Amino acid sequence: MNADSLPLAGHTVVELGSSVAAPYATWILGMLGADVIKIENPDAGDDARRWGRMFPDGSASHFVALNGNKKSVTINLKDERERAWLEDTCAGADAVIQNMRPGKVAQHGLDGVSLVARSPALVYCNLGAFGAVGPNKDKPGYDPLMQASAGIMALTGEPDRPPVRVGVSIIDMGTGLWCAIGILSALYQRKETGRGCIIDASLYETAVAWTANQSMMVQADGNNPPKEGSGARGMAPYQAYRCADGWLVVSAPNDRLFERLSKALGHPEWPYDEHFASNQKRYANLVNLNGLLVPIFEAKSRDHWMALLDEAGVPSAPVREIDEMLVDPQTQALGILQEMAGGGINLMGLPLSFDGKRPPQRSGPPALGQHNDLKVTS
């Protein structure tokens, strides 16, 4: 798949953003072929340039992960000529996404209302913390604040333990994904109407939306769902079990799979026990069920149980570290890790393929202001 055949080839997107959420949205669009112009302040650039672990060349892991296929242009918003160039560039783009602090884009004439009025075909996406309306609309926010305020931390981890943040930036990256979906939808609609629109998304809305199942549980019986550790409410057995040399997640939450699991473990009588005869009964008697399963799994290696369960047709997966995942044969076979232009680093590819081909990495993350010549040439 070459650059010209990518779905968004020929489209220009301007990113007025930093950190994770907005850069992740434009990373998606850039991987799909859009020409992404990343606007940064000339003093320090994106905060993510200093986040995570550092490579020998001084680049930061967080920035490298989410900023490939982009051009970096530094803009001093106090400089009239540079601000005018940015206004013109935004107005001439297909889409703009911004996650600047509330009020800042309007202060400089870069808000959606102003730019869409000037260029009605523009798709403009606001990415905020708590949303466009409501008592918290002007408050700043970050991923862990949203996991806390939306109830996700109350669902995560082991019972009677302190609050736990989900290990990946699920709210930031999820919001970036929603923004990309919104922008793509608006671009598709523009083909019919000729007009763009203003999109609003926020970290808090994403966090709230991720609790769809749990919110329904509360509305069903008025009770907050408890922390389930590695398990899931109402499903059993469906959790991680310690083996002799590591952890294995076993998923047998229906009668057919539980029968297979029972036979594989040498206990074909379990499904006929009145306490384990259905998923509902197994979950209600999970303490007793785990009292049987835990010592069995602890007795032998993870690979032993994986091979046995694979043969029995019972889904299972090892709990791996990131370095194990990177070299796993399945990861390698998919080709989702793509060598960065210039070599030395494998960047994460887009988790999509088109006609069996994954969009390529066209360029690595840019140096701060690497493409400032765009201001001169225009």
Instruction: Kindly list the distances between the CA atom of residue 204 and the CA atoms of 11, 128, 143, 176, 370, in Å, as whole numbers in the listed order.
Output: 29, 8, 9, 12, 34
What pLDDT, in 10s, does the model give residues 214-225?
999 999 999 999
Q: Are residues 196 and 311 in the same domain?
A: no
Sign of the alpha-carbon dihedral angle for 114, 120, 122, 125 = positive
Same domain, 135 and 29: yes
Residues 18-53: tens digit of each pLDDT: 999 999 999 999 999 999 999 999 999 999 999 999
Domain count, the chain: 2
177 shares its domain with 262: no
The CATH number assigned to the domain holding 345 equals 3.40.50.10540
Residue span of the structural domain in which 62 resides? 3-210+334-377
User: Domain for residue 225, yes or no?
Assistant: no
Give a yes or no: residue 233 inside a domain: no
Note whether 211 and 146 are within 8 A (CB): no
* pTM of the predicted model over 0.85: yes
Residues 248 and 373 in one domain: no
Same domain, residue pair 30 and 179: yes
Residue 281 lies in a domain: yes
Please, what's the largest Cα pairwise distance for the chain?
79
What pLDDT is attached to residue 340?
85
Q: Where are the beta strands (DSSP E) in 129-237?
A: 197-202
DSSP annotation string for 15-69: EE--TTHHHHHHHHHHHTT-EEEEEE-TTT--GGGGSSPBPTTS-BHHHHHH-TT
Whether the pLDDT of residue 253 is over 60: the answer is yes
* Residues recognised as catalytic: 172
331 Cβ neighbours under 8 A, 6+ residues apart: 325, 337
**295 and 200 share one domain:** no
* Residue 229 included in any domain: no
Q: Are residues 258 and 146 in the same domain?
A: no
Same domain? For 204 and 63 the reply is yes
Express each pLDDT in 54-98 by its tens digit.
999 899 999 999 999 999 999 999 999 999 999 999 999 999 999
**CA 171 from chain center: how many Å?**
7
For residue 1, the model assigns a pLDDT of 73
Question: Are both 351 and 263 inside the same structural domain?
Answer: no
Does 272 lie in the same domain as 159? no
Decide if 219 is inside a domain.
Answer: no
Residues 151 and 75 in one domain: yes
Residue 188 has pLDDT above 60, yes or no: yes
Can you give the CATH number for the domain in which 242 is found? Answer: 3.30.1540.10
Are 203 and 114 found together in one domain? yes
Domain-located, residue 220: no
